[in-house]
Amino acid sequence: MDVFELLKRLIAINSTSGEELQVGEFLADYLSSTGFQVRLYEAEQKRPNVYAWRGDPRLVLSSHTDTVPPYIEFSEDDNYIYGRGACDAKGCIAAMIKAAEALIEAGRDGFGLLFVVGEEKGSIGAITANQIPNKSRYLVNGEPTESKMILGSKGGLKARVRAQGRAAHSAYPELGESAIEKLLDMIQQVRQTSLPGNEILGTATVNIGTISGGIAANVLAPEAEAEMLFRVVNNTAELKQIVESAAAGRASVEYTFECEPVFMEHIEGMETDVVSFTTDIPLLNRWGKPLLFGPGSIHDAHTEGEKISKLELAHAVGSYANMVVRLQEKPLE
Helix or strand holding residue 3 (H, E): helix 3-12
* Calpha distance 267→111 (Å, rounded): 17
The DSSP code for 16 is: B
* Calpha distance 124→102 (Å, rounded): 31
Q: What SS3 class is residue 291? A: strand
Judge whether 274 and 202 are in contact, CB under 8 Å: yes
Catalytic member of 19, 119, 120, 146: 119
Select from 152, 145, 120 the least CA-distant residue to 293: 145
Burial class (CB in 10 A: 0-12, 13-18, 19+), 108: middle
- Return the bridge partners of 251, or none: none
* Calpha distance 85→11 (Å, rounded): 6
**Which residues have CB under 8 Å from 64's CB, separation 6+?**
89, 115, 116, 117, 118, 119, 120, 125, 126, 280
- Angle, helices 21-33 vs 3-12, to 10°: value is 150
The DSSP code for 67 is: B
Q: Catalytic residue at 119?
A: yes
The sign of the torsion formed by the CA atoms of 282, 286, 292, 298 equals negative
* Calpha distance 117→102 (Å, rounded): 25
CA 161 to chain CA centroid, Å, is 24
* Calpha distance 115→88 (Å, rounded): 13
Q: Verify cis geometry, omega within 30 degrees of 0, for the bond prior to 102.
A: no
Which sequence positions are flagged as catalytic? Answer: 119
